[in-house]
Amino acid sequence: MSNVTANGIQIEYGTFGDESNPPLLLIMGLGAQMIVWDSEFCQQIADRGYHVIRFDNRDTGLSTHFHDAALPDVAAAMLGDTSSAAYTLSDMAADAAGLLDALGVPAAHIVGASMGGMIAQTVAIEHPDRTLSLCSIMSMTGDPTVGTPEPEALELLTSTPPQTVEEAADASVLAAKVIGGNRYPVDEERTRERAIEGWNRDHDHLGFGRQLVAIMASGDRTPRLANVSKPTVVIHGIDDPLVTLSGGEATAKAIPGAKLVKIEGMGHDLPIPVWPQVIDLIVENAERANTPT
């Protein structure tokens, strides 16, 4: 893993595969470090002929944290007052484009999960020349009437943050059970190990809050998504309780020519059994852009 200056901040990133292959940028979700893109998952995409890049979004992991920003007022933001926002998804999309600049990558296939899907959509909207294709996973358009979380999942966003590594591991297992689908059991050992690794890299609950307010401050992308012209696939778990299925449906409806794939038994997660299907969809969509028409 390495660190570069991009868009005026430090961004930590890692790569998989041959640099001469088509670049594919993975953008992770709310409060999630790049290691949530499992190394094996990344390598399997790289083995399909891509140069895979994953990175820590601002306010997560080893990238720049905005400790000097105003305290994020999540409660006020949920009621419509987003004045405490330190930045928006547009700034986070600019980070992604800046990372490509720093790496000398003219354009990439953009793949995002959850909040990462929102950022990926924003990259496609605001940086179309940097976007070869778009894959939005378990995400939404920013329209507050779609993708509405179920009550138990919503509670996770406002729960008391863990204070120790043990609490972080317990909280991660609990969250996985709440937001996961009903077909694939939670691998508690793997989930705990990843939570411990994440805690040891960084833990910043205010960074989580700043990202959450940024989502709410960024508004509805639906009208602008109509201008996205790059090959797009939208992937969503039918059993997702955090960003419910209507979020993915609305995303695919908003983007001309987008392909919507609903995965049975998948919640707000990427369990190992669905990796082959998800990777096939990512690669097939990228190949639509790689193949001259």
Tens of pLDDT, residues 1-41 = 899 999 999 999 999 999 999 999 999 999 999 999 999 99
Query: What is the pLDDT, as a whole number, of residue 70?
Result: 92
Cα 112 vs. chain centroid, distance in angstroms? 4
Query: What is the pLDDT, as a whole number, of residue 233?
Result: 98
Cα 107 vs. chain centroid, distance in angstroms? 18
User: Where do the domains of the chain lie?
Assistant: 2-290
> Which residues in the chain show pLDDT less than 70?
290-293
pLDDT (tens digit, 9 = 90+) per residue, 203-218?
999 999 999 999 999 9
Query: What is the pLDDT, as a whole number, of residue 220?
Result: 98
Q: Which residues of 29-67 are buried (b: 16+ CB within 10 A; e: fewer)?
A: bbbbbbbbbeeebbebbbebebbbbbbbbbbbbbbbbbe
Q: Which residue from 31, 25, 77, 22 is spatially nearest to 49, judged by alpha carbons? A: 22
CATH number of 2-290: 3.40.50.1820
What angle in degrees, to the nearest 10, is found between the helix axes of 89-102 and 115-126?
A: 70
Whole-number Cα distances in Å, 54 to 33, 84, 100, 168, 255: 9, 28, 11, 23, 25
Phi first, then psi, for residue 220 (nearest 5°) are -90, 120
SS3 content of the chain, % helix, strand, coil (to 5): 45, 15, 40
* Residue % of the chain over a pLDDT of 70: 99
Query: What is the pLDDT, as a whole number, of residue 170?
Result: 96
Angle at 180 between CA 59 and CA 73, to 5 degrees: 35
**Dist CA 23 CA 6 (whole Å):** 17
Phi first, then psi, for residue 268 (nearest 5°) are -95, 65
**Dist CA 3 CA 212 (whole Å):** 24
Number of helices (H), then strands (E), belonging to the chain: the values are 11, 8
Query: What is the pLDDT, as a whole number, of residue 238?
Result: 97
Query: What is the pLDDT, as a whole number, of residue 292?
Result: 56
Do the strands 2-6 and 232-237 form a parallel or antiparallel pair, or are they unpaired? unpaired
Query: What is the pLDDT, as a whole number, of residue 1?
Result: 80
Q: Which residue from 107, 163, 159, 116 is spatially nearest to 135, judged by alpha carbons? A: 116
